[in-house]
Amino acid sequence: MFFRKKPEKRSYDRTRKKPVIRASICTGEQVAGFKDLTTGVFEEVMLIKDQEDLVLFKSMYDIMEEIEKIY
């Protein structure tokens, strides 16, 4: 009741996918997801509204490095 639910840990194939943020040039909307390294296809995971959402995304997938932005 008084405790915030911890984000569940998820995983992704680190050899085939790379975490990226896709940002819109026009609206500035940002979506976090994974880009397939072989095909280049972007898989959306969540909308990034503020810095807290980015921290949540990084903690969900245990990402420590800086995330690249693509436009």
- Evaluate whether 21 touches 69 at the Cβ level (below 8 Å): yes
What is the distance between the alpha carbons of residues 37 and 59, in angstroms, rounded to a whole number?
A: 22
pLDDT in tens, 1-53: 566 666 678 888 999 999 999 999 999 999 999 999 999 999 999 999 999 99
| Short-list 59, 52, 67, CA closest to 18 | 67
DSSP string, 18-69: EEEEEE-TTT--EEEEEEETTT--EEEEEEE-SHHHHHHHHHHTT--SPPEE
What is the structure's pLDDT at 22? 97
What is the structure's pLDDT at 3? 64
Would you say the pTM of this structure is higher than 0.75? yes
